[in-house]
Amino acid sequence: MFQSNRFFAAAFFAALALFSSPLASQSLSLLDQSSGKGQILYWDTLTQSGVLEKNGKQVTFRAGSNVILLDNEKFAFTDAPQMNGGQIFVSPKFIQDAEDWFDLKPASGENFKVGAILIDPGHGGKDPGALMTHKIKGKNVTIKEKDINLSVAKMLAARLKAAYPQKQIIMTRDKDVFISLQQRTEIANSVKLKDHEAVLYISIHVNSSLDKKARGYEVWYLSPGYRRTVLDHGKTDDPKLFPILNSMMEEEYTTESILIAKFIMDGLAAQIGSLSSPRGIKAEEWFVVRNSNMPSVLVEVGFVSNYEEAKLLNDESYLQKTAFGIYNGIAAFVTHFERSRGFTGTK
């Protein structure tokens, strides 16, 4: 993501919040107006901000603020959008100002894109992760989480490299070696990106439970309750603005992570079908990527403690389906992210 403009925009919105005021003329539904004028509307409920897109150009706005950001390049003042009953309402002036910008000139500059995808096979080496021995086809077979994680990660990385030769596809490990959580975080946070680029972190794991009936796949994201510093202090000269900017970037990472999780769950459901069952998207504070400064999710692909699911996890064709499902989810997110020029709210 093009961080410098976004941080500047965040600071500007924060600084000018006091100048915003409701207007009686805001009686037009932005959803209806944008649809009728061929604009695409993206809205982020978490940050109460949105983007209008048309002709390859965009207008970024926030509910209650009379400042709009045009193509991440310049600011303008207009009537502040207002929330009412869960919907966004605007004035005729807001609509006209947006249309004037869309018609003004061709779009310039690079689009946002995903520059790197980091695949993290959990555990490895001296750390086997979850493991269970089952009798499969008359033989005792010990299924180790670290092996399943690596197999799925390799299949996933191969698909991503074939689909995105221009992107960095990085694995934290590509063989059976031990890597500490700190090392995984350092690998993630050291990825070099160009302007307008983002990095995604996908961690692959396998579940286990004392309840032998427990089965299914799930995707975790980092709970918003876990506070972390994701912004370099050097990004702003005003220390008073740093907590605001850091909080906004945390919210953005959370929104992106939830969206990645949703796409991956959908991708797994389409590939696995009735062979296993979805357990949903979940939030937790302790998972492996809690200190990575990027959108990140952890995928639990199944339970080694469940006999039927353990047999599936021991089947290469099933792992291929799993990897393909995760790939489809990532690909869907990449398409959404790059089409919306880095804004990841829902339409």
Strand order in the sheet with 49-54: 40-44, 49-54, 57-62, 67-70, 74-77
DSSP letter, residue 273: G
Q: What is the mean pLDDT of the chain?
A: 80
Q: Contact, 58 vs 9, CB < 8 A?
A: no
pLDDT of residue 155: 98
Taking the model in full, what pTM does it have?
0.68
Assign 145 a pLDDT band (cuts: 50, 70, 90): very high
Tens digit of each residue's pLDDT (9 = 90 or more) over 18-52: 344 444 456 889 988 888 888 888 787 767 888 88
pLDDT of residue 72: 58
Helix and strand numbers (H, E) in the chain are 8, 16
- Stretch 251-266: mean pLDDT, rounded? 83
Assign 194 a pLDDT band (cuts: 50, 70, 90): confident
Is the pLDDT at 141 greater than 90? The verdict is: yes
Is the pLDDT at 106 greater than 60? The verdict is: no
pLDDT of residue 109: 52
Neighbours of 285 (CB within 10 A): 11
Tens digit of each residue's pLDDT (9 = 90 or more) over 271-291: 999 999 999 998 876 555 555
- Stretch 204-232: mean pLDDT, rounded? 78
Assign 226 a pLDDT band (cuts: 50, 70, 90): very low
Assign 59 a pLDDT band (cuts: 50, 70, 90): confident
Amino acid at 88: I
Using alpha carbons, select from 114, 304, 319, 84 the residue that is nearest to residue 216.
Answer: 304
Q: 10: helix, coil or strand?
A: helix
Amino acid at 243: P
196-210 in b/e burial notation, b at 16+ Cβ within 10 A? Answer: bbbbbbbbbbbbbee
pLDDT of residue 160: 96
pLDDT of residue 73: 61
Neighbours of 190 (CB within 10 A): 7
280: left (phi over 0), alpha (psi -120 to 50) or beta: left
pLDDT of residue 60: 81
Q: How far is CA 10 from CA 61, 73, 108, 141, 237, in A?
A: 11, 13, 21, 55, 14
First CA to last CA distance, the chain: 19
